[in-house]
Structure 1
Amino acid sequence: MGYVVNGEELEGDDENFLLEANFSDDVCPVIAAAEGIKELTDLHWQVIRFMRERYQEDGHTPNFRNMVAMLTDEDDSVDWKKTLYELFPNQPNRQASKVAGLPKPYGKGGY
């Protein structure tokens, strides 16, 4: 399986995570639509940028607990625990990683 973005086929695994990270913003709406997310809001993009930065700096994405803590450190005006589930209802850490165009998080429970 995979996705077609601007005429280019991107290879995905059995859970539709990209096999190779893709940092093009054109990828996100395509994957989001496949995930049932109709529109990417500013908050979605904030989380996408955060996940991409963590992946680029750390080589992986944070688990959910660390994700909430780090996002709160960046912007404490948002209840991130609640908001992440509203933005990415199917396991926020995994779904946010997928929509951001990143490979599947590793480890127990997908992180």
Structure 2
Amino acid sequence: MRLNRIGPAFFAFGLSVLATSAAAPAFAQQPYDGVWNVTIVTKAGSCEPTATSTLTVSDGRISASGANVSGRIGREGLVRVSINGAYANGQLSGNAGSGKWNGASAGIPCSGRWQASRQ
């Protein structure tokens, strides 16, 4: 088959895919969007023994006021986030979740577990 015959058909297919994508909503709500209460427990190191925080998930992106947060929650509930230099991962399911975190306090490593519940 000659390349010039494939080109127009492939181009038409590409345009139809783009048109379908453009018609989809730009910010579809994700299954874990909402406000989450998170409790962090230190198991090793010199970080605070416990801490609580409120995080907001919008379109799968994690944010919080007053904190340097970047991260995402996948459609399957997989959590990967960085909060003020600490890193956490875990799993959400329905309105709850848990996982592990690690970071440092005054240069000394610390780590622990976290639990979350949706408000």
Between Structure 1 and Structure 2, the one with more strand by share is 2
TM-score after normalising by structure 1: 0.24
Q: Looking at CA atoms only, which structure, 1 or 2, has the larger radius of gyration? A: 2
TM-score after normalising by structure 2: 0.23
